[in-house]
Amino acid sequence: MMMVARSTHLKVASGIWGIVGFGLFTAGLFFSFGSVIGIAEGVSFVIALIIGFVKGKFVLPKVARKNIARIEALPEQSPVYMTYSAKSWMLVLGMILIGRTIRFLGAPHFVIGAIYVAVGIALLLGSRVYLEKT
């Protein structure tokens, strides 16, 4: 099992949020605008940006600060999987399952795109809190 320092946990947390956020934002662009650009796609994109910005500016920084406090309470060396709590890992799994279910049920691409854009922007903005701490 790979043991890492607290500072590495913070970098891993920031990296995961940043990489996943960028990936979701990019996928959201493709889902939103991959084949057609219409009013529904444009409106949903703007709404997604607003929701993502608000969540990334006001909600996820609180989540990140709580996780930072948890990381700072860890021993100097701990397993890398402890970067996030078990509850956080379950939330990630749940979000993946929700995303897969929405796609499986055939939601319109602009809806999927809007969800991905909103979550992606929020994660990108929220990842800054971890970077400020490292």
The size of the chain, in residues, is 134
Inter-residue contact 122 to 2 (CB < 8 Å): no
- Are 16 and 90 in contact by the 8 Å Cβ rule? The answer is no
For residue range 64-73, list pLDDT tens digits in order: 999 999 999 9
What are the distances in angstroms from CA 102 to CA 54, 72, 94? 23, 36, 12
pLDDT of 39 > 90? The answer is no
Q: How many domains does the chain have?
A: 1
Predicted TM-score (pTM) of the model is 0.92
Q: List Cβ neighbours of 72 (8 Å cut-off, separation of 6 or more).
A: 6
Domain span at residue 103?
3-133
pLDDT category of residue 42 using cuts at 50, 70 and 90: confident
Q: Is there a contact between 31 and 110 (Cβ–Cβ < 8 Å)?
A: yes
